Amino acid sequence: MAKHNDAPLTFGALLLGGGVAGYAVGHWLLTRDPTAAPPPVSSAAPAPVAAAPPPSRNARPRPRRGAARPRSHRDVEFAVDDARGDQRAFKTFDDAAGFAVGLAAATGKRVHLDVLVMSRAGATWWGGDDAAESYDEDPEASVFDRLVVQASAQGRVS
């Protein structure tokens, strides 16, 4: 079980480990019980896979992002305003998300992560065919997509 003094290590994993995924791995490493037995392997037939729930009306479906998908695209950038108000540009989403989460945790404020798309191909890479159609409607939009990142300290949780 993690102790309250392990927070700097967890926060360091967030900043150095490649964003949210790095934070999750760091948190798992700190909170797992190394003496626990592995879960039992069931010899029973696998449970049937349930159908995915239908997407909400207003949600734009995102394409599945597999391991073969490149981490960056030449026509897509990610921008985050730093604590001084200067815009920082990143080529990969992981780098931008890591910076945004770290900044939100440090300042306690909401941070905007803007997706800047410069071509139809970039829009397709970011959000699929629906995003490409959205790009065609307004190719001069300064921000193609905006994510709001908010982090709050919850204190010690037992």
- 8 Å CB contact between 90 and 97: no
The phi and psi torsions of 118 (rounded to 5 degrees) equal: -110, 0
Domain extent listing, the chain = 1-33, 71-153
Question: Residue 142 is inside which H or E element, if any?
Answer: none
Residue with tokens 């037992």: 158
The pLDDT confidence band at residue 156, using thresholds 50, 70 and 90, is confident
Q: Against a cut of 0.85, is the pTM above it?
A: no
pLDDT over 90 (residue 110) = yes
pLDDT in tens, 52-85: 555 555 555 555 555 567 888 999 999 999 888 8
